[in-house]
Structure 1
Amino acid sequence: MILLDYHNRIIEDTLKTRFNPENKPKPVDMSIVDFDGVSYHLSTLDDDDAKLNLSIRWKCWNELVQYGALDVLKREYSRWIIDPEHGYDFTLQFDLNNIGGDPEDVIRRVSLLKRNAMAAPFERAFDAQSLAEQEDHWDPSSSQLMTIHYRDGEAIYVQNQQDRVTVIFSTLFKEETDRVFAKVFLQ
Structure 2
Amino acid sequence: MIILEQNNRIIIELLEQKFANAKEGAKPESVNVTFADFDGVLYKMSNPDGVKTRIILLRKIYGGHMRATPESGFNVTLEYDLSALPDNTSELEAGQEGHKRAVINYREDETMYIEAKADRVTVIFSTVFKDAKFSKTL
TM interval, short-chain normalised: 0.5 to 0.7
Match of 1:32 in 2: 35
* Match status 1:97 vs 2:83: yes
Moved more, 98-107 or 13-22: 98-107
* Match status 1:81 vs 2:84: no
Larger radius of gyration: 1
Match of 2:8 in 1: 8
Normalised to the residue count of structure 2, the TM-score between the two structures is: 0.59
Q: Distance in 2 between matches of 1:81 and 1:96?
A: 15
Report how far residue 27 of structure 1 moved: 0.5
* Residues 144-175 of structure 1: per-residue CA shift (max 9 Å, x gap): xxxxxxxxxxxxxxxxxxxxxxxxxxxxxxxx
* Match status 1:54 vs 2:57: yes
Task: State the structure with bigger RCO (CA 8 A, min sep 6), 1 or 2.
Answer: 1
Q: Does structure 2 conserve the Cα–Cα contact (< 8 Å) formed by 1:12 and 1:108?
A: no
Query: How much identity, in percent, do the aligned residues show?
Result: 29
Secondary structure at 1:97 match in 2: helix
Instruction: Summarize the Cα distance change of 1:106–1:18 in structure 2 as closer, same or farther, 3 Å threshold.
Output: farther
Q: Does structure 2 conserve the Cα–Cα contact (< 8 Å) formed by 1:15 and 1:107?
A: no
Q: Distance in 1 between matches of 2:34 and 2:91?
A: 23
* Residues 62-112 of structure 1: per-residue CA shift (max 9 Å, x gap): xxxxxxx8xxx3xxx2xx211211111001101111124533566788xxx
One-letter amino acid of the counterpart of residue 37, structure 2: D
* Residues 8-65 of structure 1: per-residue CA shift (max 9 Å, x gap): 111011100000122421000011200111001100123310010011136xxxxxxx
Q: Distance in 2 between matches of 1:10 and 1:24?
A: 21
Instruction: Summarize the Cα distance change of 1:105–1:46 in structure 2 as closer, same or farther, 3 Å threshold.
Output: farther
Structure 2: 5+ residue stretches without partners: 96-113, 115-121, 127-134
Report how far residue 123 of structure 1 moved: 3.5
Match of 1:62 in 2: none
